[in-house]
Every structure is written in C-alpha cells, then in structure tokens.
C-alpha cells in the first residue's frame, strides 16, 4: 500500500514511518522545506500542497500540529496550537475531496482533550465533548476533516491519550527528574491519566488503516487509565529511584499557565471502547510493564 504521512518528523510519525518501511510499505511524507526523495512539499498555513502528493495514496495519516505542552500557553501560542491543526487538516481535507483518485482511508490525529476534565467519570467515544480551550481546539480540529468525509472517504479521528516513549514524549521530559531522584506526583496526584505505549499507538494506527468497517472517533488509549500518583510511582520503580518530591499545583500553573489545568492537572479517565470491540490486542495494558519495557 502507499502511505502518505504528515508530521513524520515527530516522535509518533518517525516511529510509524520506520515501522512501515521496515515492512516494505511504500511511504511518502509531507514536509515544509525543500523536498528530498520520497517527500512532497506543503505549506498548510497557506493551504498549499504539491498536487502530486496524494497520487496513488491508499492511506493518509495526518499527525501534524504544534506541540500542546512544550511551551507556556500565551495568547500567541494558543492561536498557533489551533491554527496549525485547523489549517493543516483543512488543507488535506480539501485536497482529498477535490480528487477523483481519493485514498481509501484518512487517519487524522485528534486527542482525548475532546472530553475536557472528566473527574472520576469513565468516558468513551460515545461521551460528549467537554469544556475548556483544549476541548474547543479538538472540536474544530475534528470538524476540519468534514470535506473528506462528505466526499465519501472513510475518516478515522484518532483521539490519542498521553503517548509514552523514551524520546520526544511527555515521558521523555519527566525521565531526567526521576533518574536524579527528584520526581514525584503532580498536584494532588489523584487526577486520572489516559496513556498508551508508543508501540501500541503505531499498532493501532495500522489496525485502523486495515479495518474498512471503522470510521469516526476512536480512542487510542490503554484499557487501564491510572492516577497520576500511580503513574509517577511506576516511573520511579522503573528507574529504581524514589518519587518523593511532589510538584504543587501553583508551581505548575506558574510554569505552564493555562495548560496546567487542562494538561497535567486535568483528570481524564478515557477508555478505548471501540478499539477493544474491534478486537485490537494491546501489547501493554499495565503501566508498570509498559514503563519497564521502554526503559529496560
């Protein structure tokens, strides 16, 4: 099959492209710079894309977008987070819709931020959208795929949780602190975290590409969400260090601004009902086993 991947330089995109090429799949990527072999240029901010980028594409995987938690949420940063998602998704949706040779499926990144802060409530794909900036971003992000779905293309909106990997992820940012023995719970530690191992994220993307009967929102999260305190204890065990230095909520708000309350302090108890019903087999459904495998 021919795969077209945006956001291929991110840690999820890099792992996906590597896995696909290792299995002999034909993969091309979308880039903003001058393209090399196997690449096509696009400029989502200008709604421009090389007209040959999707020629012969069977699967399009859209992973592009500015990082949500890597900088403080200033007004300018919030505008960029939204525009980078809406502009890039709209550019692809319009290009897919205008073509006669449309791809078989478009797998478009999304996030569990759609549900907002759910507290103790268990939520799945049938649950409504929540309140807050992150939820509004995801609503607009997902709505930007409509031109493709209206044109008859199967569109899957992949609502990922916190994707865990030793490099490039939230886990990677926490690792140095925990390795030096200065890690600990964030805020109260009672907030739920919906996570997924990078290997399961990649496997789920490939699984969804092959399942012609699945469209719409799909949660890419492990079956067992964990409280933040449980996660930090598991991470400490994996690196053989204590987790005795909690980070108070005011400190997180001082560093991250509005992101703190919608990111590390938000409680999201999200479960992958549709993936499990479709028969997807998770490699890691236990946080201790996932972290031990990643950090061994």
Q: CA 144 to CA 161: how far, in whole Å?
A: 20
Phi, psi of 135, deg, nearest 5: -65, -40
Contacts of 214 (CB under 8 A, 6+ apart): 154, 156, 208, 274, 278
Tokens of 247: 């980070």
Proportion of the chain above pLDDT 90, given as a percent: 78
Candidates 117, 114, 128; CA nearest to 85 is 114
Element (H, E) at 40: strand 39-43
Mean pLDDT of the chain: 93
Q: CA 259 to CA 69: how far, in whole Å?
A: 7
Asked if residue 171 has pLDDT above 80, the reply is no
Asked if residue 25 has pLDDT above 70, the reply is yes
* pTM summary value: 0.94
pLDDT single digits (tens) 185-232: 889 999 999 999 999 999 999 999 999 999 999 999 999 999 999 999
Q: Which pLDDT score, from 0 to 100, does residue 255 have?
A: 67
Asked if residue 70 has pLDDT above 80, the reply is no
Q: Which pLDDT score, from 0 to 100, does residue 179 have?
A: 83
Lowest pLDDT segment from 63-77, 107-121, 164-178, 184-198: 164-178
Asked if residue 71 has pLDDT above 90, the reply is no
Q: Where are the alpha helices (DSSP H) in 144-197?
A: 146-150, 170-179
Asked if residue 280 has pLDDT above 80, the reply is yes
Q: Which pLDDT score, from 0 to 100, does residue 177 have?
A: 76
Asked if residue 5 has pLDDT above 70, the reply is yes
> Band of the pLDDT at 257, cuts 50, 70, 90?
confident
CATH number for domain 2-295, candidates 3.30.2350.10, 3.30.70.20, 3.40.50.11440, 3.40.50.720: 3.40.50.720
Burial of 208 (0-12, 13-18, 19+ CB in 10 A): buried
Read off the pLDDT of each residue in 39-55 and give the average, rounded to a whole number.
Answer: 97
């Amino acid at each position: 099959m021919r795969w077209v991947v945006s956001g291929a330089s991110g840690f999820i995109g890099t792992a996906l492209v590597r896995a696909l090429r290792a299995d002999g799949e034909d993969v091309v990527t979308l880039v903003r710079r001058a393209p090399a072999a196997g690449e096509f240029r696009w400029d989502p901010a200008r709604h421009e894309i090389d007209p040959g980028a999707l020629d012969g594409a069977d699967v399009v995987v859209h992973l592009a977008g500015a990082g949500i938690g890597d900088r403080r949420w200033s007004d300018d940063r919030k505008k960029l987070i939204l525009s980078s998602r809406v502009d890039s998704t709209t550019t692809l949706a319009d290009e897919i819709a205008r073509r006669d040779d449309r791809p078989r499926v478009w797998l478009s990144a999304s996030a569990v931020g759609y549900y907002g802060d759910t507290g103790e409530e268990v939520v799945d794909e049938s649950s409504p959208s929540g309140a807050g900036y992150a939820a509004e971003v995801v609503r607009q992000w997902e709505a930007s795929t409509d031109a493709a779905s209206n044109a008859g293309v199967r569109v899957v909106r992949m609502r990922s949780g916190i994707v865990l990997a030793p490099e490039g992820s939230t886990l990677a940012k926490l690792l140095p602190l925990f390795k030096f023995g200065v890690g600990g719970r964030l805020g109260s530690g009672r907030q739920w975290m919906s996570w997924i191992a990078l290997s399961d994220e990649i496997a789920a993307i490939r699984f969804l590409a092959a399942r012609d009967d699945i469209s719409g929102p799909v949660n890419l999260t492990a079956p067992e969400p964990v409280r933040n305190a449980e996660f930090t204890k598991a991470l400490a065990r994996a690196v053989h260090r204590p987790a005795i230095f909690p980070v108070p909520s005011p400190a997180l708000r001082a560093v991250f601004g509005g992101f703190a309350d919608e990111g590390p302090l938000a409680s999201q108890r999200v479960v992958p009902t549709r993936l499990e019903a479709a028969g997807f087999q998770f490699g890691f459904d236990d946080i201790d086993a996932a972290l031990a495998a990643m950090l061994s």
